[in-house]
Amino acid sequence: MQNLKQLGLDPEQMLADLPLFMNRIIQLANEIGISLSEYTADHIALRVNSRDIALELHKAWLAYGTEWSKTLINGRPIVVIGFDKPLQVGDWTIEALELPYPSDKVYPQQGWEHVEFVIPGNAMSIEQLQQTINTTFPTLDWQQLASKGIKVKASSPAGEHERLPNPTYAFKKDNICIKLHSHSLAAVIASEQQ
């Protein structure tokens, strides 16, 4: 099996790629018509296509933090690792890494995939979240997104013991994704432990 370094997925390589990835996130935000500099970059997520690679990454990233949770969501484990030293990138301090074990979907590119931002507003449903986003970003033109090649997906992913709904809007283009939600991952995980 190829090792993480050969695949460009070793944590040190990924951390070196982080500023470039965040620049792509900022470019996508600009295309969407939103500015995220004032909002918390709650966590960053990566995607891989093999369970073996996910296991290796899981072990490798534990050198950088502590496992906050490992929850089954849609039938596969999603691991959240809280960084011992949060990642500082541009305007943001990122506290956690989300590592989903692969499903049967194959990603064209393995590595960083999305950043989730907390848009305060306590939304408990997709409808409430859309209202919060419209209020927060009044210049966002939902109708223009498709013509720019930006796919929009609303979802309400939930772990088996979550008590705090966390509806999410995902904006995706060219293997880069921005997700907006109302509650931090730390708050959602805390709701599982109640």
- pLDDT by position in tens, the chain (length 194): 468 999 999 999 999 999 999 999 999 999 999 999 999 999 999 999 999 999 999 999 999 999 998 888 778 889 999 999 999 998 899 999 999 998 887 887 899 999 999 998 888 889 999 999 999 999 899 999 999 999 999 987 655 554 556 789 999 999 899 999 988 877 777 776 65
Please name which of 124, 123, 66 lies closest in space to residue 96, comparing C-alpha atoms. Answer: 66
What is the rounded CA–CA span in Å between residue 93 and residue 165?
24
Q: Which domains does the chain have, with CATH numbers?
A: 4-192 (3.10.180.10)
Give pLDDT, residue 37. Answer: 92
Total Cβ atoms within 10 A of residue 90 = 13
Residues 53 and 137 sit within 8 Å (Cβ to Cβ): no
Residues 95 and 85 sit within 8 Å (Cβ to Cβ): no
> Residue 100: what are its φ and ψ, rounded to 5°?
-80, 135
Encode 108-146 in three state secondary structure.
Answer: CCCEEEEEEEECCCCCCCHHHHHHHHHHHCCCCCHHHHH
Q: Helices in the chain by DSSP H: which ranges?
A: 4-7, 11-32, 51-61, 126-136, 142-145, 185-192
